[in-house]
Structure formats: C-alpha cells, structure tokens
Amino acid sequence: MSPRPSMSSEASPAGGRGRRRRPSSGSALAEGRQSHRRRRLYQRRGFWAAVGLAVVGGSVVVVNTASAGTVDVDTKPWYMLVNRNSGEALDGLNYATNDGAPAVQWARHDGTNQQWRFIDAGDGNYRLQNRNSGKVLDDYGWSKTAGSTMVQWHDLNGANQQFHLEKSSDGYVRLINRHSGMAVEVQDGSKADGGRIAQYWDWGGANQQWQLVPVGSAGGTGTAGDPGAGAVPTVPAVPTNSAKPTTAGHPVPTGQAPGGTHPSSAPSSAPSSVPAPAGGSGGGGGGNVATRFMGSSTVLIGGSMNDAAAIAAPFDVRYNYVHSQPAPSSDYYTASRCKAEWSSWWGCWTGETTAPGFYVTWGDQHVAQATYQGKPRPQKYFWTWYSLRDLGDMAGQGDGPGEVVAINRADLLTRYLNDYRFFLQKIGTSQDMIDIEPDFWGYVRSLGDPHKVGAQVTASNPADCGSQENSAAGLAQCMIAMAHKYAPNVGAGFHLTCWDWTTNTQGCVKDYAALGAKNADFLVSDVVDRDAGWYAKPENGGRDTFWNDQKATAALTFYKTMAESVGKPVVLWQIPVGNMAQNNTLNHYKDDKVDWLMSHLDQVANAHVAALLFGAGQQEQTAVETDGNNLINKTIAYRNAGGTPLK
C-alpha cells in the first residue's frame, strides 16, 4: 500500500510504525494507517531499448531481434528475467533443487536461484537453466491448459522445456513454450512476492513480458550496482523470498525470515538453542524482568534480510509475516498438496507442488541451518502473525473497525482461530517467536476496556478456549494459550500498540494489564516504518523522525515502563536500517536508529529490550543489503565484543 503522511513529526516507538492517530470520542483512533504488509520490491529501473538492442547500466544487453519478430539470445551469460508488469525477477522458489519445485517471481536479489541461462535447443528454441538447481524451466505435465504451472525439472530436452523468444516493445521479450504454444506469465498480473509463474495464451500483456538483464548489471529492479551497497558476500541470497503479500498474491517461504533454532555446535556467542522461557520470571511486573530471553543472556540482533546478508554477520534472528484470509475449510489443512486455486492463502504461498504450511516449516528448517564463517550458527524465526486485517476485509469493513466487528462473529473468528492453530502446528517444536497482531490491540484500546469489547471466543474455539471470556481480552488470552499448547517452545509476544504513548503511558499500562500481557512471553514494539531521510522529503510529509538523545531516551523510558508493568521484555521490530552515510536516494535513505541503538546498548538493555530487529517497512527504504554493510559490520563488532547482557 502506498504511504500516507502521518500527522506527527515524531517517530512512534509504540506500535505506531511512524504514524499517529487523531483523537476521536476521547480515544486515539487509526488515522492514515500504514499497512504492515510490505516487502522490499526494489523499484529501480533503467532499461532502455533501441532497435532490438537494450542498454542496461550503460552496457549493451545481447538481445538481438531476429526475423519474424523472434529473438536470438547470447547463450554465454547468466541473466535475471525481470517482469515488465511487476518489476520482479523469475525465481526458483527457496533455492529448491528438486524436480517439480515451482517457479515464482520475487524481488530481485541476484541470488543464484534468480539466475538463468539459455541453452540452444535448435530451431530458434532455448531451454532456460537455473543456476542454483541446474534444472530447466518446464511446462509441468506437458500441459496445454491455460493457467497451468511452470516448474523446474531435470533437463530432458523435451518440447515442454523449450521456448522461443518473441519480441515485444522496448527490448522486452515473451517466452513461448514449444509444446503448448503458450506464453510464460506471472499469473493474474500479480505484483506480490511469490506470484506464481504459469502459461497462458500469448496476448502480449505486460505480465508476459520479460527483460533479460545480465547478472552483475544495474538494470532492471535489483540492487546489484547500487552505490554504497557494500560487499556483501555473493552467497546465495536464498529465499529473499519473503512472504507477505501486499494484496492477493502468492507469497512464498522467505529466506528472509527468522527461523526456529535446533541443537547445533553454535559458537559460545550464539544464543543457546535449548528452549527457555521467553519472557522471564514473574507474571506480575514490578520490574521482575528475567535476564535470559529465548535461550540468550545477551541482546539479540537480527532483522529482515536475504541469506547472503544473514550469513555475513553473526545475526541471531530473522523475521517475516504470515497473513491472508483464513482457509475456507479444513480440507486445506489435511491435503497432501496445495492446489493452484489455494495460492492466495498463506499456507499455499509456496505453490501446488508443496504441502500446506510449507512456508513455515521450510522457513524454520532453513534458518536452523544458518552458518557464519563456515560454521553452524542457527538463527531463530520471528513470525509476525497479521491476519485480523484480512478478517476485517471479510467482515466488509476493512482495517480497524472491520477487525473488531469480525472477532464478534463466530463464523469468521472460528476460521481465524482454525488458521492460527494450523500455523502453530506447523511451527511445532521449533523455538520461534510470534508477534501477535500489529495494530489490532490499538483498535481495541480505542474502544475502551478490552474486557468490554465483544468477541465470540468460546463459540469459535470451545476446545482450546472454552474457559475464556467473550471479549477482546479473552481472545488475547486464547491466542497466548494456544501458542503455548501447540508450539510449546515458542515465545508468544503481544504487539505493543500505544499510539498515545507520549501523553498516556499509564493508560497503556492499564490496558495491557487488562489484555493479560503478563501471560505473554514478551512485548513487541515498532520504532518507525520508514527511514528519516525519506520522511524528511516534502513530498513524503516533511517530518522529522531522526533521533537525538532526548527522543531516544523518551522511547526507552516508555519501553522500560511497559516491560516492568508486566514483567516481560520488549522486542524492537522493524527498526529503520538507514545511516547518515547514505545519499537519500532510492534504497539509500539516511537514518540514525542503527547507529544510536548499537552505540547505546547498555541503555537498550537497561530498558529491558531483549532484541533489536532491523528491516525496511516499505520498498523504497534502505535495507540491510543496501546500507553499505553498516549493520553487518556493527553486528560483527557487537558479537566480537561478547554482546550486551540483558537486564
């Protein structure tokens, strides 16, 4: 969703993602909400064409027009194939190497699963070989049906694996399958990460047109060649496939997500993989916040990043979203394979060749196998469960008002809690963290006492939550109890949504006590969703969201108050990645949060902040991959110094 200016000139540390709410009927209601559904889509362009030649980053791309509108391709280079409609790259999902793994689109990260070369198959046809898997693009099952899936398969040189290139305007081409005669397209014109690649009648749509961008050039939409991007090791940027569609899409497992931790020979500086209480001892508060969090005695560092960045430093955590409308029936949970028509549901973002829920199980397994300097160093996954927004759509009222209406409808809440249970079951015994419903608790607070906001809890889930009260507070307790029941090693965190924190901290303390936050394992708070340099531009509101010592101290004081009020630590999430060495251009905006926090870690720990998770909240912002290695270098230095003890 495109951002709308906030009404405040101040960054919000309390679930505000840089936005404030205007008062209404004495309560802070949502105004100009920035959706949490974001993914770095890297919008960089720069591909021009002239008479069959395309110029990318100042170099000529070897795409030459042939007779009859067909195109000949240089078979030596590796290419990124960038879709004209979405700006995203053709991607071998999750660095899979198995036959039948789906092809999708994803924000360009130049990993080997996004690199393809053309193998001459004769008669003007080519096979497209993926650099990561060695397999070729394949019309699955020799289908001639419009909408059927494109996958990867070992090279049989079959006609269903052969394509000729038809010329489109401005240097773009269409890939026409020799067997079916159909064009390779992003299904339904999706612009979401994980959008499914299928075949359809060749009608010349923008979603059927592709740029051939040589690997290492600055053309298309990637970050390759970005000034100041830094020398992140060229290791597979594995599923920078991060899921979390902005609209109905087909998001997919992301290597951009934190994963569950499992026993390993991690170095002593790495957090223990032995399950430990996430939030510490003491349910009541009064400053009784424990000095271990998710098996670690030091402040955890992590964020949203691709695999190349994630193994370039001793990061502890990676994060990702889970959200969509819930599955319509229990058939979705018990099927052995997803169906194509289920792809808008988060459990089938990975396509019809995978089992429902593979997004989560793959993510947990993947990050558990993370390394640093060639040695195992498992990371933890931090999942943001963000699906009440979608339930509000089903209630017909959307964001905010629709969500509180939806929880008071047994039909909708039943489906929602069934989906949540399935999600937890997919986590299983992994030691993940869950951030429960950004923004929603703020909407509840705006209506008054959480015990008086209606929710059909017992009717929707009598087996797990039959003893809970029928209120938003009861729903909160239901979700915490379910997390501990179905994912026993998980840390379950309430999202701290106090848009009025600067004037009403005690009101926030009271409301989170009513919600039962003492029974959670931690609290989660946003800092701000965009870099300060981006917000400072007049066209983006001209806001001052840079920190100084006074602003930072105020925010940390709030976190400390909330942590001590419930006896649980705070996780700061989606912290802007920019730094003052950037130049305020696309993906290179200035900010000071990384540098301030990483140079004041004693103050961070004193505020009972247990983890710092960095990541862009919108596609134009500075990312871990484009910040000149600032966060990577600071994380290396932090761990080399032994880490900062929790307090």
3-state secondary structure 451-507: HHCECCHHHHCHHHHCCCCCEHHHHHHHHHHHHHHHCCCCEEEEECCCCCCCCCHHH
Distance, in Å, from the CA atom of 256 to the CA atom of 252, rounded to the nearest integer, reads 10
HEC string for 223-268: CCCCCCCCCCCCCCCCCCCCCCCCCCCCCCCCCCCCCCCCCCCCCC
Q: How many Å is the maximal CA-CA distance in the chain?
A: 78
Token pair in block for residue 88 = 């995203």
* Whether the Cβ atoms of residue 613 and residue 568 lie closer than 8 Å to each other: no
Helix (H) or strand (E) run with residue 11 in it: none
Token pair in block for residue 386 = 């963000």
How is 186-228 classified by DSSP, letter by letter?
EGGG--STTPBEEEE-----GGG-EEEEETT-S-TT--TT-TT
* Whether the Cβ atoms of residue 492 and residue 484 lie closer than 8 Å to each other: yes
Name which of 590, 610, 592 is nearest 601 in CA terms. 610
Distance, in Å, from the CA atom of 568 to the CA atom of 559, rounded to the nearest integer, reads 10
Average pLDDT by stretches of 10, the chain with 647 residues: 26 35 27 32 22 30 43 93 94 89 91 94 95 95 88 93 94 95 92 90 91 77 31 29 31 28 27 34 48 94 94 97 95 95 92 92 94 96 96 88 95 98 98 97 96 98 96 98 97 96 96 97 95 96 96 97 97 98 96 98 98 92 96 98 96
Name which of 520, 505, 527, 522 is nearest 572 in CA terms. 527
* Main-chain dihedrals φ then ψ at residue 110, nearest 5 degrees: 65, 15
* Whether the Cβ atoms of residue 499 and residue 16 lie closer than 8 Å to each other: yes
Helix, strand, or coil (residue 47): strand
18 torsion bin: left (phi>0), alpha (psi -120 to 50), beta (else): left
Token pair in block for residue 346 = 């988060």
* Whether the Cβ atoms of residue 295 and residue 273 lie closer than 8 Å to each other: yes
* Whether the Cβ atoms of residue 208 and residue 202 lie closer than 8 Å to each other: yes
Distance, in Å, from the CA atom of 232 to the CA atom of 641, rounded to the nearest integer, reads 22
* Whether the Cβ atoms of residue 268 and residue 277 lie closer than 8 Å to each other: no
Non-local (6+) Cβ contacts of 412 within 8 A are: 391, 394, 395, 406
Name which of 323, 367, 362 is nearest 344 in CA terms. 323
Domains and CATH numbers, the chain: 23-41+232-640 (3.20.20.80), 47-214 (2.80.10.50)
Taking the CA of residue 274 as centre, how many other CA atoms within 13 Å lie in the half-sphere pointing to its CB?
3
Distance, in Å, from the CA atom of 38 to the CA atom of 618, rounded to the nearest integer, reads 5
Distance, in Å, from the CA atom of 610 to the CA atom of 297, rounded to the nearest integer, reads 9
Pairing of strands 380-385, 317-322: parallel
Distance, in Å, from the CA atom of 79 to the CA atom of 30, rounded to the nearest integer, reads 45
pLDDT recorded at residue 248 = 29
Helix, strand, or coil (residue 384): strand
| DSSP, res 33 | P
Distance, in Å, from the CA atom of 119 to the CA atom of 104, rounded to the nearest integer, reads 21
Pairing of strands 163-167, 173-177: antiparallel
Helix, strand, or coil (residue 635): helix
* Whether the Cβ atoms of residue 296 and residue 273 lie closer than 8 Å to each other: no
Non-local (6+) Cβ contacts of 367 within 8 A are: 255, 257, 258, 259, 260, 261, 310, 318, 378, 379, 380, 381
Residue with structure tokens 């198995």?
98
* Whether the Cβ atoms of residue 280 and residue 567 lie closer than 8 Å to each other: yes
Token pair in block for residue 580 = 């003052």
SS3 content of the chain, % helix, strand, coil (to 5): 30, 20, 50
Beta bridge partners of 60: 55
Determine the residue type at 380.
Answer: K
pLDDT recorded at residue 288 = 61
Token pair in block for residue 207 = 């979603």
